[in-house]
Homo-oligomer: A and B are copies of this chain.
Amino acid sequence: MLKWKERMTALDQLKFDANGLIPAIVQEQKTGRVLMMAWMNRTSLEKTLESGKTHFWSRSRQKFWMKGESSGHSQIVKDVSFDCDGDTLLIQVEQIGAACHEGYQSCFFRSMQPGGEGFRITEAQLETPEQIYGKK
């Protein structure tokens, strides 16, 4: 009872936006690599905390999704922190396989350099989308 009450207190610190959503940054705990950013509502955060795997809300599909449900590339939750304003989450995970649906370890695989030209690919593609989503 006390545990649940205290978690409620923690969740009540959070500010969800007009659509009931909060951005969740996902970071690989072992390497510090920022892997992706996706959106959660209160229920997907509760599912994440209860199951220990990341669950999000898809704005385009208007449905819950668990990271890895299609690809097998799930995220095991190690820590959930929130910022001073209570309007952003930072989730430390152990990432199974590539985090990006395009087959890169991180979704942030393209960089612009300050004062530089255009953008460049900054990491190797581990698998093609066909390899990831064809392997079920």
Contact = CB atoms under 8 A, between A and B. Distances in A.
Contacts of A109: 81, 84
Contact of A80 (B6, B23, B78, B114): B114
A37 interface: yes
B108 A90 contact: yes
B88 A37 contact: yes
Interface in A64-95: 77-85, 88, 90
B49 A23 contact: no
Interface of A: 2-3, 6-7, 9-11, 13, 23, 25, 27, 31-34, 36-37, 48-49, 52, 77-85, 88, 90, 100-102, 104, 107-119, 122
